[in-house]
Amino acid sequence: MSVFGPVVKIHPVVLASICDSYERRNEGASRVIGTILGTIDKHSIEVTNCFSVPHNESEDEVAVDMEFAKNMYELHKRVSPTEVIIGWYATGFDITEHSVLIHEYYSREATNPIHLTVDTALQSGKMNIRAYVSAQMGVPGKTVGVMFTPLSVKYIYYDTERIGVDLLQRTRVTPSRTKGLTSDLSQVGSAASRIQDMLTTVLAYIEDVLSGKVTADNSVGRFLMDLVNKVPTITAEDFENMLNSNINVSARLKILKLIVYIGRMTS
């Protein structure tokens, strides 16, 4: 399938909200729809939030509570004024005739809105998520149709969202499908372990490049340089004061040991 246009970046909270709306849908409803919110730049569309919109549909007609959608958006702007309407979502795998009608409404709320489909029925064994933009096609002055063109979809998350995603991942391997929250110290330890693994991978790559085993990749070099430049310059005294004021003694010792270990690896 050909893919055109900007990349659609979706945050985990959006998918969780859509799945929750689907699980809570009215009896007899085949799918749920809703408004998606986020930000837009020249190269990407970032979907950061959403809310469901009540609707009824049959084989012959569809009715959407547009007044509810407007009121919800007005309330949402009070909390997150930077997020704007960028399109709408629907659960299911296919784009139907009703989808064209609903998309027409959102075209009045957003310039070139995107349509997000979430396959909550897991028809292919996983939750396929697709994004589309529409374009009119046909002969001017005669019958005109609508063509939905797919966009690239990418999943991203904030650092704070990563904690929730990791917790959900751990529930997959537990028989009860439940997992308790970890302590702050455990989270620090897990984060430190991930950093250690990443450093090990980076150091192995650098050593292979220096020894000639691997051809140097300029894009990787630029990424590593950018990463190094983002590390804040801080004196040993300031670092110690920060550590003392934010971490208890037990955690402090473990992190200091890790810092010493990482220093040995990189020296």
Q: Exposure string (b/e) for 222-232, b if CB count within 10 Å is 16 or more?
A: eeeeeeeeeee
Q: How confident is the model at residue 2 (pLDDT cuts 50, 70, 90)?
A: very low
- Answer yes or no: do 111 and 36 share one domain: yes
Residue 108: predicted pLDDT = 87
> What tokens does 132 get?
């589309």
Q: How confident is the model at residue 179 (pLDDT cuts 50, 70, 90)?
A: low
Residue 163 · residue 187 · CB < 8 Å? yes
Whether residue 197 lies inside any domain: the answer is yes
Q: What is the pLDDT of residues 213-246, one digit of tens each?
A: 888 888 888 888 888 787 777 787 887 777 666 6
If you average pLDDT over residues 94-112, what whole number do you get?
84
Q: Among 61-70, 125-134, 195-204, 254-263, which stretch is predicted with the lowest mean pLDDT? A: 254-263
Indicate whether 89 pLDDT > 90. yes
Which stretch of DSSP H or E encloses residue 116?
A: strand 114-118
Whether residue 41 lies inside any domain: the answer is yes
- Answer yes or no: do 12 and 138 share one domain: yes
Q: In terms of Cα–Cα distance, which of 39, 33, 103, 46 is closest to 72?
A: 33
Q: How confident is the model at residue 92 (pLDDT cuts 50, 70, 90)?
A: confident
The residue with greater pLDDT, 11 or 238, is 11
- Answer yes or no: do 208 and 239 share one domain: yes
Residue 4: predicted pLDDT = 52
Q: What whole-number distance in Å separates Cα of residue 160 and Cα of residue 231?
A: 19
- Answer yes or no: do 210 and 154 share one domain: no
Indicate whether 267 pLDDT > 80. no
Whether residue 208 lies inside any domain: the answer is yes
Torsion of CA 85, 87, 90, 92, to 10 degrees: -150
Q: What is the pLDDT of residues 125-167, one digit of tens each?
A: 777 889 988 877 766 666 567 778 888 898 888 777 776 777 6
Q: Is 138 left (phi over 0), alpha (psi -120 to 50) or beta?
A: left
**0.85 exceeded by the pTM?**
no
> What tokens does 188 get?
């620090």
Residue 30 domain boundaries: 7-159
Indicate whether 1 pLDDT > 50. no
Whether residue 119 lies inside any domain: the answer is yes
101: Cα separation from own chain's centroid: 27
- Answer yes or no: do 86 and 216 share one domain: no
CATH code of the domain in which 11 resides: 3.40.140.10
- Answer yes or no: do 127 and 209 share one domain: no
- Answer yes or no: do 118 and 48 share one domain: yes
- Answer yes or no: do 49 and 111 share one domain: yes
| Torsion angles phi and psi, residue 47, rounded to 5 | -95, 110
Indicate whether 206 pLDDT > 60. yes
- Answer yes or no: do 153 and 223 share one domain: no
The DSSP line for 60-88 is S-EEE-HHHHHHHHHHHHHH-TT-EEEEE
Axis-axis angle for helices 236-246, 249-266 (nearest 10): 140
